[in-house]
């Protein structure tokens, strides 16, 4: 024992510690050189995914059950908050849409068609009169 009451460290203990450190450093270096395990998984997945993507590219069956929000818009207007707070039952709000003008049909906020209001079995509906082409939709997005 040394002056502090600890067991003295011999040359063999130092040599063993240094050898253990060298082994740990060598193992760390090997891990750094080897590609990570996840890279092999991603390579395999991407090579298989390419074939699957081309097979299902034209098949839209997998999206047919996705719900979308369809809205028919009669018109819009801007109103001051003080006028909004004065509205009561029976109040009339003037919209920018004209009587007899086609209504806008929006899917998730994007204009896809226009139509006229119809009543079927005491419920309102819309008869589509004009479908917006994909080219027109893209042109409106670019504006």
Domain boundaries, the chain: 11-56, 67-142
Cα–Cα distance between 111 and 64 in angstroms, integer? 20
Radius of gyration of the chain (CA): 36
Does the pLDDT at position 56 exceed 80?
Answer: no
Please state which of the ranges 42-46, 93-97, 120-124 shows the lowest mean pLDDT: 42-46
> What CATH code would you report for 67-142?
2.30.330.10
Task: Please check whether residue 114 is in contact with residue 104, taking contact to mean a CB–CB distance below 8 angstroms.
Answer: yes
User: Is 0.75 topped by the overall pTM?
Assistant: no
Task: Please check whether residue 117 is in contact with residue 124, taking contact to mean a CB–CB distance below 8 angstroms.
Answer: yes
* φ and ψ of 129, to 5 deg: -110, -20
Q: What are the angstrom distances between the C-alpha of 103 and each of 27, 119, 132?
A: 71, 14, 13
Question: How many H helices and E strands in the chain?
Answer: 4, 4
Write down the pLDDT at residue 81: 95
């Amino acid at each position: 024992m040394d002056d502090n009451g600890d067991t003295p460290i011999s040359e063999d203990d130092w040599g063993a510690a240094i050898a253990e450190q060298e082994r740990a450093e060598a193992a760390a270096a090997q891990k750094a050189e080897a590609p990570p395990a996840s890279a092999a998984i991603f390579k395999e997945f991407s090579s298989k995914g390419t074939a699957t993507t081309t097979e299902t590219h034209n098949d839209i069956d997998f999206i047919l059950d996705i719900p979308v929000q369809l809205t028919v818009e009669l018109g819009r207007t801007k109103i001051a908050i003080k006028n909004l707070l004065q509205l009561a039952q029976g109040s009339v709000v003037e919209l920018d849409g004209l009587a007899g003008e086609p209504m806008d049909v929006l899917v998730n906020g994007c204009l896809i068609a226009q139509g006229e209001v119809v009543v079927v079995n005491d419920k309102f509906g819309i008869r589509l009169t004009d479908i917006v082409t994909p080219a027109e939709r893209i042109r409106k997005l670019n504006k």
